[in-house]
């Protein structure tokens, strides 16, 4: 029964639809009650919870403490479970991105084919300002996505993180192209449109950025100036200022 919940939850999560991801989290809560000793269930529960912040549906202060607790529970059950280390790293990005690097490196060391681990590490490296690792891990996430159940349903993930990385290194036109690719491959992903907006805005394409904001508001109704300030986790103050300025240019 717990295994069935896990499989159903994965399918729902991979849609990147808010109602589906919320349903997936409920299924995983149920699975955790059925099989209290499953490190995979607690890991995926943590990832599903963090996904609500990443997508822009909830504030990090309301979600990340529980996501971290689920990941730590998974690690206590099985310290060798790669998903558990990946879950801890993913949740840690929204507390302090630098803290996410070590558990994500550990996840990949345990399973070099863990596509989602490479994706999370590319994301953490972007926010932490580790420029040398950004695209190598995005490339690995793309190459390995076919063999990773968590990554399999998000065909645009690698281009999404490349778009965010491009913003970080101020290559905005390149970032626009990556973000367009991500949005095309999964058109209901708020993260793709967030990456598109910030790159368009600072590439001088303010009219397109404003149109993108309307799509983003439909996919993530909680998006606001306050949400952006509360949930931005850029280690660099300069990058954080560019990020909030991009939303201002787009009319948020």
What is the predicted pLDDT for the residue at 184?
Answer: 92
What is the predicted pLDDT for the residue at 175?
Answer: 96
Question: CATH no. for residue 245?
Answer: 1.25.40.10
Residues 40 and 95 in one domain: yes
Task: Mark which of 124, 146, 168 sits at the end of a domain.
Answer: 146
Task: Mark which of 126, 146, 166 sits at the end of a domain.
Answer: 146
What is the predicted pLDDT for the residue at 186?
Answer: 84
Residues 39 and 112 in one domain: yes
Residue 149's contacts (CB-CB under 8 Å, 6 or more residues apart) are 10
Residues 18 and 80 in one domain: yes
What is the predicted pLDDT for the residue at 188?
Answer: 86
Can you give the pLDDT of all 252 residues of the chain as single tens digits?
666 777 787 778 877 778 888 898 998 988 888 888 889 999 999 999 999 999 889 989 999 999 999 999 999 999 999 999 999 999 999 999 999 999 999 999 999 999 889 999 999 999 999 987 778 888 888 888 776 666 655 667 889 999 999 999 999 999 999 999 999 988 888 999 999 999 999 999 999 999 999 999 999 998 999 999 899 999 999 999 999 999 999 999
Count of structural domains, the chain: 2
Residues 114 and 8 in one domain: yes
Residues 42 and 125 in one domain: yes
Residues 188 and 77 in one domain: no
Residues 80 and 123 in one domain: yes
Residues 159 and 141 in one domain: no
CA distances from 216 to 14, 189, 223 (A): 19, 9, 8
Residues 119 and 186 in one domain: no
Residues 129 and 194 in one domain: no
Residue 236 belongs to domain spanning = 154-252
Residues 78 and 9 in one domain: yes
What is the predicted pLDDT for the residue at 32?
Answer: 86
What is the predicted pLDDT for the residue at 1?
Answer: 61
C-alpha span between 31 and 251 (Å, rounded): 42
């Amino acid at each position: 029964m717990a295994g069935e919940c896990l499989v159903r939850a994965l399918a729902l999560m991979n849609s990147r639809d808010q109602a589906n991801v919320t349903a997936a989290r409920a299924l995983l809560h149920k699975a955790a009650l059925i099989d209290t000793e499953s490190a995979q269930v607690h890991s995926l529960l943590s990832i599903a919870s963090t996904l609500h912040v990443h997508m822009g549906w909830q504030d990090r202060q309301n979600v990340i403490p529980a996501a971290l607790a689920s990941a730590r529970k998974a690690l206590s059950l099985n310290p060798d479970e790669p998903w558990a280390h990946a879950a801890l790293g993913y949740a840690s990005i929204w507390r302090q991105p630098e803290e996410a690097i070590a558990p994500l490196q550990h996840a990949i060391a345990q399973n070099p084919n863990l596509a989602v681990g490479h994706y999370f590490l590319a994301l953490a490296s972007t926010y932490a300002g580790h420029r040398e690792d950004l695209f190598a891990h995005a490339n690995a996430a793309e190459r390995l996505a076919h063999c990773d159940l968590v990554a399999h349903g998000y065909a645009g993930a690698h281009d999404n993180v490349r778009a965010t990385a491009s913003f970080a290194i101020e290559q905005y036109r390149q970032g626009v192209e990556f973000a367009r690719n991500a949005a095309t491959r999964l058109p209901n992903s708020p993260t793709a449109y967030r990456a598109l907006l910030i790159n368009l805005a600072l590439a001088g394409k303010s009219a397109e950025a404003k149109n993108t904001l309307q799509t983003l508001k439909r996919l993530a109704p909680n998006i606001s100036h306050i949400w952006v300030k509360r949930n931005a986790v850029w280690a660099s103050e300069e990058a954080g200022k560019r990020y909030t300025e991009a939303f201002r240019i787009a009319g948020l």
